[in-house]
Structure 1
Amino acid sequence: MDTSLPHVQQSFEIGVVEIAPEVIQVIAGLAASKVDGVAHMNGGFVGELVEKLGRKNLSKGVKVHLGEHHAVIDVSIVVQYGEHIPEVAKQVQRQVKSKIEEMTGLEVLEVNVHIVDVQIPPAGASAEVD
């Protein structure tokens, strides 16, 4: 995670609320992972290492680019074999945009979905690979 990213700040009568970029990454990661057809998020080497150490990395596979009142989100996912990839990607875009806007008040300009792999069912599972 890039901790040099600017925090989102909102001013209220009695103070300022800051939202760290890592919070937005977690929201996006959770929203994307709950979409049917998403096998899991892809976080590359560092994300896999963190999980092997026993810690769940909820921001795995998510990059956030923040402006003053908006965000651009990149998510990398692994899709389950047999799913219609464009539909899964569209649902990921909708869910991520909706959850971030609902929870933070930021305008999400883009949600870019990167399909990095397909999860093939283990041998003997009900889905067959042709």
Structure 2
Amino acid sequence: MDNPKIAQTSLTFDEGVIEKIAGLASRRVDGILSFDGNLLDNITDKLRSKVDPTQGITAEVGEKQVALEMNATVEYGYDIRQIFTQVCDVIGDEVERLTGLKVIELNFHVNDVLSKKEWKEQNSRKPNSDLEPKPEAK
């Protein structure tokens, strides 16, 4: 980034911004069915009428670095290690591209493995079940 003509500047990001970037970017990875929060998030999800791409994702944001925790349900039959590698690559690239921050830690917890059919049956009518993967941003 070029130095602005102002002597002292600061650019910071709310945790929710980084969580949203991570949530939207990771939906490009095949095999992820959803990101799921804790018990309170799951109760809130039943009352929520809008999609929340940050559900199941928490971020700690520093001045130059980011740490992320993600809780995911993955589709049965996919190599979970490969999903994890792709998530790390996609999120690391996208967070750095959009914010200049480096993702230095990503803890990816798989809380369930389901077939796509089982997942759709369990999640029909939930707001976050309507999130579709987005095409790659350029």
Does TM-score exceed 0.5, indicating one fold?
yes
The answer to which structure, 1 or 2, has the higher relative contact order (CA under 8 A, 6+ apart) is 2
CA RMSD, 1 decimal: 2.0
Q: Gaps (5+ residues) in structure 1? A: 1-10, 124-130
Distance 1:12-1:77 versus aligned 2 partners, 3 A rule: farther
In the alignment, the residues of structure 1 paired with residue 28 and residue 41 of structure 2 have an alpha-carbon distance, to the nearest angstrom, of 18
Q: Secondary structure of 2:40's partner?
A: helix
Match of residue 93, structure 1, among 76, 79, 88: 88
Structure that is richer in helix per residue: 2
Q: Secondary structure of 2:66's partner?
A: strand
Match of residue 106, structure 1, among 101, 119, 123: 101
Name the % identity.
Answer: 28
Matched with 2:68 is 73
Q: Secondary structure of 2:12's partner?
A: strand
Is this contact kept in 1: 2:33–2:116, CA < 8 A? no
Aligned residue pairs total 113
TM-score by length of 1: 0.76
In the alignment, the residues of structure 1 paired with residue 117 and residue 21 of structure 2 have an alpha-carbon distance, to the nearest angstrom, of 30
- Shift, 1:64, TM fit: 0.9
Matched with 1:18 is 12
Q: Gaps (5+ residues) in structure 2? A: 119-138
Residue identity matched to 2:15: P
TM-score by length of 2: 0.72
Is this contact kept in 1: 2:12–2:63, CA < 8 A? no
